[in-house]
Amino acid sequence: MDWHLLGLSFATVFLSELGDKSQIAAIALCGSSKSVRGVFLGTCAALLLASFLGVLLGGSLSQFLPERWVKIVAAIGFAVMAVRLLWGSQDEKTEQI
Amino acid sequence: MLTVESTPTASDITTPLTPLTDSPEADVAKGIKGLQEDSPQSFWQRWQVEIKVFTSTFLTIFLAELGDKTQVTTLLMSAESQSPWTVFAGAGAALVLTSLLGVWVGCWMAKRVSAKILERSAGIILLLISVLLVWDVVQG
């Protein structure tokens, strides 16, 4: 085990992810959602899989997935969650409170 | 002197206790409520909520992270030098820690801010993230 490389990758990813949109999304989702465990596990699984694919495929990832379309789909996903929170049905809101 | 001091404290303890043990009917109602919460249907419903939260969180954050080029490039750069599994272990630990911190901050805020304000601000934050992603697409 190369501890130097381990520490380096940990530090770079930790610092670049601190305050990044995925962490801010985790903060927002956790505060508003009913299941903290679901948010935490979902965030962890997504981040681990994303970095796993990054390690596995490396540079060829962009050949499989057009970055723009992935971003647009992600943007739509966040917008849908935001709309559901802001203008969600009254029944859901009373349920959540 | 001692007995005079001790009597008010004793009454202070007993007075708040009396409204809690209100009536036997209230206890029965609580017991029924507890039973209903533990029934298999509501357990299944809770499970469904958790799965729903998990999948929606997973899909959006996964797609947002896939589009994030910086992470991929840093991983790639360090992976090219040596073993990719060491890089993955370090990056994975960092990612779990950052999401743990995010969830922790969210819970901390949820205890302090009212649910309505929290919901609204969370919606605005998510909307901002989606606008940011669209902006990235337009710029790139």
Residues A42, A2 within the same domain: yes
Query: What total number of domains does chain A contain?
Result: 2
pTM: 0.69
Q: Are residues A52 and A9 in the same domain?
A: yes
A74 and A90 housed in the same domain: yes
- Tokens 């708040």 correspond to B16
ipTM for the whole complex: 0.76
Contact A10 B68 (CB under 8 A): no
Are both A52 and A85 inside the same structural domain? no
* Residue A89 and residue A75 share a domain: yes
Q: Does B115 touch chain A (CB under 8 A)?
A: yes
Does one domain contain both A30 and A53? yes
* Chain B residues touching residue A8 (CB < 8 angstroms): 78, 90
d(CA B71, CA A47): 10
Nearest-by-CA chain A residue for B59: A46
Token pair 């998510």 in the structure block, residue: B126
Give residue-wise pLDDT tens across range B114-131.
Answer: 888 888 888 898 899 899
Q: Which residue range is the domain that position A97 belongs to?
A: 66-97
Q: Are residues A12 and A54 in the same domain?
A: yes
Q: Which letter does DSSP use for residue A19 in this model?
A: T
> Mind listing the pLDDT tens digit for each residue in A7-31?
888 888 888 888 888 888 888 888 7
Distance from CA of A57 to the nearest CA of B (A): 9
CA–CA gap between residue B1 and residue B98 (Å, rounded): 59
Residues A15 and A48 in one domain: yes
Residues A46 and A71 in one domain: no
Look at A9 and B134 and tell me if their CB atoms are within 8 Å: no
Interface A-B, measured as beta-carbon pairs within 8 A, has a size of 308
Q: What is the pLDDT of residue B65?
A: 81
Q: pLDDT of B71-114, one tens digit each?
A: 666 666 666 666 778 888 888 899 899 999 999 888 888 888 88
Shared-domain flag, residues A22 and A45? yes
A56 and A70: one domain? no
* Rama region for B88: left / alpha / beta (φ>0; ψ in -120 to 50; rest): alpha
Q: Distance from B25 to chain A by nearest Cα, in Å? A: 26
Is A36 in the same domain as A2?
A: yes
